[in-house]
Amino acid sequence: MNMRSLRGALVWHVQAIKAGFTLPTSTTNLLIHVYSKHNLLHESQKLFDEMPERNVFSWNAMISAHIKTQNLKQARELFDSAPHRDLVTYNSMLSGYASADGYEADALNLFREMQNECEGMKADEVTVTRMLNLCAKLLNVGYGRQLHAFMVKTSADVTGFTVSSLIDMYSKCACFEDAYRVFNRSYEVVDLVTKSSMVAACFRAGETEMALKIFWRVPELNNVVSWTTLISGYVQNGYMEEGLKLFVCMAEAGVRWNERTFASVLKACSGLRSLKRGKEVHACVLKNGLISNKFINSGIFNVYYKCENMKYAELIYLMSRVENSFSIIKLILGYSSQGNMVEARRFFDSLAEKDVVVWTALFSGYVKARQYEAVFELFSDLSKETMVSEPLILVSVLRACVLQAALNPGMEIHAYMLKMGLGMDKKLISTVVDMYSQCGNLTYAETVFRSVAERDTILYNVMISGYAHHGHEIKAIQLFEEMLRNGIKPDMVTFLEILSACHHCGLVELGEKYFNSMTVDYNILPEIDHYACMIDLYGRANQLEKAMGFMKRIPIEQDPVISGWLMSMQQRETELTWGGSHSKTEGIYSMNCA
DNA sequence: GTAGGGTTAG
């Protein structure tokens, strides 16, 4: 019977009790260790307390047991009261401090004590390994370099352990060159772990090719960790398809995956937004009984969330049976973005702490669902509780005003905004201008627009659009020219508005000039709407040949809708008459429908 | 005869 297994330990223990036999100290020490390994702290403690004689092994085992359960205070008390301490005692305590959050300073102090050779204790390579991990965690490369120097000076054994940690430390501290130098200079001790550390380091630095090269050195050594490092490295660098392919390669190489492998594969699926592959992996996970792993569970949740399958995402969340505000927030964001406000609201109300992200999502969801009354209600609820200073929330409320053409509430929001000192927020200002213009008060829109000292593209777009939609095409064109004079770069939206204005005024030559300037001066590729605008412009001016010529220039021919449209246009070329009141998009849609 | 501390992929 193997005493290192829990079963073996229990059998030994019970037999000894039955026989009234006192276990030797070394056996009890082992039992303490085995119980602790299986999270049976209570049993370990009982054995330790009732031992007739203890040695340094007993103390070390008990200290480790407390560290394992994250009880560092208890561990330190034992450490201080132990009659004897050796290097293992120190290293155990140091290890506990280094991996726990908030005990980093204690770790450094303890290490300093060791350097002063307190109790004749001299840091060894285990100490150094642990300290390097701490540096990596704290991103403290300065201290890491000191440790590196210390290693060289004290000629502490260079082992696979120390080299791996050194590579890892440099890499996580963004010193890729140093990591690579260490790797290259430690040929004698390079093993699979060192290699994996270096592969991970390459990926952190975006050196995908180098990672692959190193991975294939001594390929027969590769195991699940090195393979998973490779897969997750590809995924992290955005190569999702390659990550999935490598997963297949790994299986073909006869290496069995574990839950970390699945976590990376799931990340690839959600990155690709591939519901099909996600479902396949989900099935695989279920078959392997890995669904209860929290990384895998959230990975599957993410697949469905990214694929906008909120019902499945919700199901996964509910089945995990773990209260998780992170998932709830995503459910709210997902449902809101789809305008499914009943579900979004259900989760929103269940959320204990609502932050600005969730509030914003709910507001914009209601806007998307065109439930402007809910927007106003929500805003009045929220502003009773607190001062709303999040620009995006106010943007949502203003958009609700636009939906409803509600000028008065819009003005109230504008006033509120000025009161809150949010008059400088660019996005908010643009929305205010848009709100005034769309609610029919162009004068106010103009006033606000002129009050802004530093105008950006979006602000200009909104004002130009305001002029254009109120029949002031010439003003729109003048403002566009002013925009160019002020050195503000127009974008696709600007050109769409301005071409539309030209179309409405029948300004063929000016429209041509602007259309050409898009690509020549601003490097903006015209989209289908821009072409449609030009075609309408020519059509309205009865320049049918030019219109046809333009249609043929549309470069997006792989689109079946466009090519179908083109073909039907060619058939109807002669019989086509152009109506007088085409808007910039009506042209397209009416022809598509025909 | 019997024992304890450290490395890589989320």
Indicate the average pLDDT of chain A. Answer: 89
The lowest-confidence range among A244-258, A300-314, A410-424, A437-451 is A410-424
**In this structure, is the CB of residue A260 within 7 Å of any atom belonging to strand B?**
yes
> How would residue A393 be classed by pLDDT, with cut points 50, 70 and 90?
confident
Those nucleotides of strand B lying less than 7 Å from any protein Cβ are 2-10
Q: Which candidate, A435, A363, A362, places its Cα nearest to that of A396?
A: A363
**Amino acid letter at A268?**
A
- Count the neighbouring beta carbons within 10 Å of the beta carbon of residue A565: 19
**In this structure, is the CB of residue A264 within 7 Å of any atom belonging to strand B?**
yes
Hits for CB < 7 Å against strand B across A residues 211-230: 224-226, 228-229
pLDDT score of A91: 95
pLDDT tens-digit series, residues A8-58? 888 888 888 888 888 889 999 999 999 999 999 999 999 999 998 999 999
pLDDT score of A551: 81
Distance CA A59, CA A79 (A): 8
pLDDT score of A587: 34
**Amino acid letter at A112?**
R
- Count the neighbouring beta carbons within 10 Å of the beta carbon of residue A572: 12
Hits for CB < 7 Å against strand B across A residues 446-475: none
pLDDT score of A570: 56
Distance CA A296, CA A282 (A): 9
- Judge whether A529 and A584 are in contact, CB under 8 Å: yes
Distance CA A354, CA A224 (A): 41
**In this structure, is the CB of residue A129 within 7 Å of any atom belonging to strand B?**
yes
**In this structure, is the CB of residue A298 within 7 Å of any atom belonging to strand B?**
no
- The sign of the torsion formed by the CA atoms of A425, A429, A430, A434 equals positive
Q: Which candidate, A178, A78, A93, places its Cα nearest to that of A130?
A: A93
Hits for CB < 7 Å against strand B across A residues 73-112: 86-89, 91-92, 95
Q: Which candidate, A174, A175, A173, A227, places its Cα nearest to that of A196?
A: A227
> How would residue A578 be classed by pLDDT, with cut points 50, 70 and 90?
very low
Q: What is the 3-state secondary structure (H, E, C) of A119-168?
A: HHCCCCHHHHHHHHHHHHHHCCHHHHHHHHHHHHHCCCCCCHHHHHHHHH
Distance CA A578, CA A592 (A): 15
Distance CA A63, CA A496 (A): 72
Span A403-426, average pLDDT:
87
Of A7-16, A155-164, A504-513, A565-574, which one has max mean pLDDT? A504-513
Ranges in chain A annotated CATH 1.25.40.10: 455-594
A456: region left, alpha or beta (phi > 0 left; psi from -120 to 50 alpha):
beta
**In this structure, is the CB of residue A55 within 7 Å of any atom belonging to strand B?**
yes
pLDDT score of A555: 73
Helical spans, DSSP H, in A407-441? 407-419, 426-438
Determine the straight-line distance between the first and last CA of chain A, rounded to whole angstroms. 84
The lowest-confidence range among A93-97, A552-556, A562-566, A575-579 is A575-579
Nearest nucleotide by C1' from A262 CA? Answer: B10
Of A3-12, A126-135, A146-155, which one has max mean pLDDT? A126-135
Report CA(A420)–C1'(B8) in Å, whole number.
Answer: 52
DSSP state of A183: H
Question: Residue written as tokens 């970390």?
Answer: A260
Distance CA A143, CA A136 (A): 10
Distance CA A409, CA A413 (A): 6
**In this structure, is the CB of residue A291 within 7 Å of any atom belonging to strand B?**
no
Hits for CB < 7 Å against strand B across A residues 185-204: 191-194, 196-197, 200
Report CA(A360)–C1'(B6) in Å, whole number.
Answer: 47
Report CA(A37)–C1'(B1) in Å, whole number.
Answer: 23
Give the alpha-carbon dihedral of A479, A485, A488, A493, to 10 degrees: 40
Q: Which candidate, A434, A431, A517, places its Cα nearest to that of A468?
A: A434
pLDDT score of A4: 81
Nearest nucleotide by C1' from A133 CA? Answer: B7
H/E segment holding residue A592? helix A586-593
Q: Which candidate, A592, A468, A458, A467, places its Cα nearest to that of A532?
A: A592
Residue A242 three-state SS: helix
Nearest nucleotide by C1' from A37 CA? Answer: B4
Q: Which residue is nearest to nucleotide B6 (CA to C1')?
A: A126
> How would residue A141 be classed by pLDDT, with cut points 50, 70 and 90?
very high
DSSP string, A281-336: HHHHHHHTT-TTSHHHHHHHHHHHHHTT-HHHHHHHHHHHT---HHHHHHHHHHHH
Report CA(A146)–C1'(B6) in Å, whole number.
Answer: 19
**In this structure, is the CB of residue A236 within 7 Å of any atom belonging to strand B?**
yes
- Report which of residues A335 and A569 the model is more confident about: A335
- Judge whether A427 and A436 are in contact, CB under 8 Å: no
Name every residue whose Cβ is closer than 8 Å to that of residue A140 and which is 6 or more positions away in sequence: A173
Name every residue whose Cβ is closer than 8 Å to that of residue A53 and which is 6 or more positions away in sequence: A25
Report CA(A190)–C1'(B9) in Å, whole number.
Answer: 18
Report CA(A58)–C1'(B3) in Å, whole number.
Answer: 9
**In this structure, is the CB of residue A491 within 7 Å of any atom belonging to strand B?**
no
CATH number, span A455-594: 1.25.40.10
Written as six digits, the tokens of A557 are 């021919």
